[in-house]
């Protein structure tokens, strides 16, 4: 456990964000290895199958991601207020939510795979492999949700290192199993899926073992679990808008995937590979946002709003520096990076074009995410949801349809819609942050904030 209400803001946020960033690098690295292995050892169709499945998986876990955010914010605010009884209540309630949600999502996913892929207009040459991949992934969702739940609790307590260690172990195991199942056994995309759920199951079991031995405050005690309605209500108020936001993002990704699928198998494969690289490039901003959420939660619980403001500014500046550097890198080396996934010249060219277009505007993405992180940590989760609706559904999706269709820009039109949405999101979230209404949304009120300052 780590108290984020003390020490220099920049150093505190970076020190907390860095283990999450390293952990997510490993997580995305093994996701990227999935694509590299199938792209090089199975083929372009298999790469497209894995790529077109990602938005579907993200849709199924989006609501649960929101629920874990609700748990993390409550844990961080109660921990900042030194209320251990409420911390335990938030943890227990969070575990119960994760179990039932994960079980439901797994069943729904397995049963609806074919229908979802049909709606996405997945090409016939990709359909069967995508369906096989998805069913296996859905079957292991409970372990995925369990790991995310434990990680959210630990991060709420200021512990970002333990989730890192679990991810490193899972990443190395996944890479080894990818090579074993795909290269040695010849299982194709099914081998990649099995490698993923086995490694996620291992990280979940490792997390359970750790909290049982090292942190009794948040350990899973099946006989002692207690569902707290008050905590659940607060968790829903914070987590449900975040879950809806993530679901809207996932649905938007599916809408974009449907447009991409209409461009042919080469574009699908290029988007699959470039999206993996894009996710790497986006991770610093996403992890800074997560760190700022926990930082904000603890400091709002302690009544230190001025410290939250200083932390926000520090995160914006750090995020800006990283975004510019990463953007330059993907613009200059995009084609070479695409070469890790495929030797198909057309796929490489399309993917490099995507990276060049979005890489120039990572600063907008970073600003939007960090602003949203402050609002979530303060308990004002409704505004990030509205921000997502505006950026994605009012700007990005209509622009993608308009640019790629009537304006005749093809796949480039879909790529240009991405920075258009980010511009709206960054502008709206900055306007709302400067308005200051998020300061009145904390669940726990202490110090001068309790008086409504």
Characterise 43 by phi-psi region: left (phi > 0), alpha (psi -120 to 50), beta (else): left
How much is the pLDDT for 445?
53
Tokens read off for 336: 């070479």
**Which residues of the chain, if any, have pLDDT below 70?**
1-2, 24, 27-31, 61-67, 441-453
- Cα atoms in the 13 Å half-sphere on the side-chain side of 101: 22
How much is the pLDDT for 357?
93
Buried b (16+ CB within 10 A) or exposed e, 61-97: bbbbbbbbbbbbbbbbbbbbbebeebbbbbbbbbbbb
Q: How far apart are CA 95 and CA 73, in angstroms?
A: 15
Is there a contact between 77 and 450 (Cβ–Cβ < 8 Å)?
no
0.75 surpassed by pTM: no
Residue with tokens 């309605």: 229
How much is the pLDDT for 325?
93
Buried b (16+ CB within 10 A) or exposed e, 244-272: bbbbbbbbbbbbbbebbbebebbbbbbbb
How much is the pLDDT for 451?
42
| Cα–Cα nearest to 160, from 280, 62, 21, 366 | 21
Is there a contact between 59 and 113 (Cβ–Cβ < 8 Å)?
no
223 contact partners, CB below 8 Å, separation of at least 6: none
Q: How many other CB atoms are found less than 10 A from the CB of residue 236?
A: 15
Where do the structural domains in the chain lie, given as residue ranges? 9-448
How much is the pLDDT for 31?
65
How much is the pLDDT for 27?
66
């Amino acid at each position: 456990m780590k108290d984020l209400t003390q020490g220099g803001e920049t150093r505190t946020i970076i020190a907390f964000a860095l283990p999450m960033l390293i952990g997510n690098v490993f997580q995305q690295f093994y996701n990227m290895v999935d694509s590299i292995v199938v792209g090089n050892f199975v083929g372009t169709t298999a790469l497209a199958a894995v790529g077109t499945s990602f938005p579907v998986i993200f849709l199924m876990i989006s609501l649960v991601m929101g629920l874990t955010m609700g748990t993390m914010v409550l844990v961080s605010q109660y921990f900042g207020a030194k209320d251990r009884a409420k911390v335990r209540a938030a943890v227990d309630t969070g575990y119960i939510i994760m179990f039932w949600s994960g079980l439901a999502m797994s069943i729904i996913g397995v049963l609806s795979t074919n229908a979802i892929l049909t709606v996405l207009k997945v090409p016939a040459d990709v359909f069967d492999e995508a369906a096989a991949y998805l069913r296996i992934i859905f079957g292991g969702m409970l372990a995925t949700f369990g790991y995310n739940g434990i990680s959210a609790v630990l991060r709420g307590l200021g512990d970002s290192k333990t989730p890192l260690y679990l991810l490193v172990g899972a990443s190395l195991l996944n890479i080894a199993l990818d090579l074993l199942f795909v290269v040695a056994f010849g299982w194709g995309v099914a081998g990649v899926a099995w490698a993923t759920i086995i490694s996620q199951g291992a990280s979940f079991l490792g997390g359970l073992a750790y909290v049982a031995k090292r942190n009794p405050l948040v350990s899973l005690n099946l006989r002692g679990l207690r569902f707290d309605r008050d905590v659940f209500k607060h968790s829903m108020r914070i987590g449900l808008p975040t879950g809806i936001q993530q679901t809207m993002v996932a649905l938007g990704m599916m809408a974009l995937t449907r447009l991409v699928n209409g461009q042919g198998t080469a574009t699908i494969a290029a988007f699959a590979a470039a999206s993996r690289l894009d996710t790497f490039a986006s991770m610093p901003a996403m992890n800074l946002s997560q760190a700022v959420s926990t930082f904000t939660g603890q400091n709002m619980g302690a009544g230190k709003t001025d410290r939250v403001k200083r932390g926000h500014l520090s995160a914006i500046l750090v995020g800006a520096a990283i975004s510019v550097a990463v953007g330059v890198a993907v613009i200059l080396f995009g084609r070479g990076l695409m070469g890790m996934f495929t030797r198909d010249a057309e796929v490489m060219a399309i993917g490099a074009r995507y990276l060049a277009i979005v890489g120039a505007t990572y600063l907008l993405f970073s600003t939007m995410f960090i602003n949203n992180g402050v609002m979530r940590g303060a308990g004002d989760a409704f505004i990030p949801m509205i921000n997502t609706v505006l950026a994605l559904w009012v700007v990005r999706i209509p622009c993608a349809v308009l640019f790629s269709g009537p304006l005749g820009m093809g796949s480039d039109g879909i790529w240009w819609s991405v920075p258009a949405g980010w511009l709206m999101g960054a502008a709206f979230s900055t306007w709302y942050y400067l308005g200051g209404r998020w300061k009145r949304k904390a669940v726990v009120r202490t110090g001068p904030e309790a008086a409504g300052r």
